Amino acid sequence: MRTRKLLLLHFTTTLRESVIVFALLGFLVFYGAFSSGGDVLTRLDSKGLFQVYFLLLMMLVGYTVTFSLYFAPFLKKKTSGFYHLYLILPEDPSKLLMVEILPTLLISLLLTWGIGLVFYIKAPISHASWLVLPMIGGGLFTLGFGVLSLALMLQISNVRTLSVVLFLLIFVLVRVPQYMVKGMVRGNFSPDLATALLTGISALFALAGFLAIRRISPERVILSS
């Protein structure tokens, strides 16, 4: 099957199987962000505060969308032994896995940047240049989280428990951007240091993800099923 047809198949399958979960988690993100988002946006009167808030916001959106779009179909395939087929095909398994998750990553990136732009328009004080770093950091984190989680979950047995933990973590993370901004306004955190740390974490996630998927152990994939 040609790569383009395979991508189209994964794209349509991802949307069809995850639409309900995606809608629920999308509502969760918007509720958490908008319930007091207006108050937080009025506090973003400096470049540092703006970039930290938008970095955290885009990382949260990327995390939530990637989880909602990919993890339910992944669990079905893993429990049925679907990924064993990738190990016996002549193609490199890492390339096949990247083709499979690419539609999810593209949708996640577009929604991450789209929601970031919506909040940028709503912010009373902002400059276009302030949004560049959050968009780069949010994109790197989204890519890294998707690829790294795929590589890890292929090689562990207790996937359902990890999925529950990742799901519950959304309820915690959804308030982090607002709390961080309020803490920085009070002087509890340094905006520049927080921006550097978040950007570095995003870059490390992306690097670790692509290294992990290149080094997947076929033996662990089989034993974890």
Residue 33 has a pLDDT of 55
- Total-model pTM: 0.82
Please give the Cα distance from 9 to 33 (Å, whole number): 33
**pLDDT number for residue 207:** 95
Residue type at 6 in one-letter notation: L
Tokens at 144, concatenated: 């890294």
Distance separating alpha carbons of residues 22 and 24, to the nearest angstrom? 6
Domain ranges of the chain: 3-32+42-223
Torsion-angle region of residue 216: left (phi > 0), alpha (psi -120 to 50) or beta? beta
- CB atoms inside a 10 Å sphere around CB 167: 16
pLDDT value at residue 138: 92
| Per-residue model confidence (pLDDT) at position 18 | 60
Per-residue pLDDT of the chain (225 residues; tens, 9 = 90+): 555 665 566 566 666 656 655 666 666 666 655 554 456 666 677 788 888 888 988 898 889 888 877 777 788 888 877 788 777 777 788 888 888 888 888 888 888 888 888 878 877 777 788 888 999 999 999 999 999 998 888 888 888 888 888 888 887 888 788 788 778 878 777 888 888 999 999 999 999 999 999 888 888 888 776
pLDDT of residue 136: 94
Q: What is the token pair recorded at 115? A: 């929601």
Find, among 72, 107, 100, 67, the residue nearest to 86 by Cα: 100
pLDDT at 201: 93
What type of residue sits at position 134?
A: P
Please give the pLDDT value at position 142.
Answer: 92
- What is the pLDDT, as a whole number, of residue 187? 77
**Other C-beta atoms within 10 Å of 47: how many?**
17
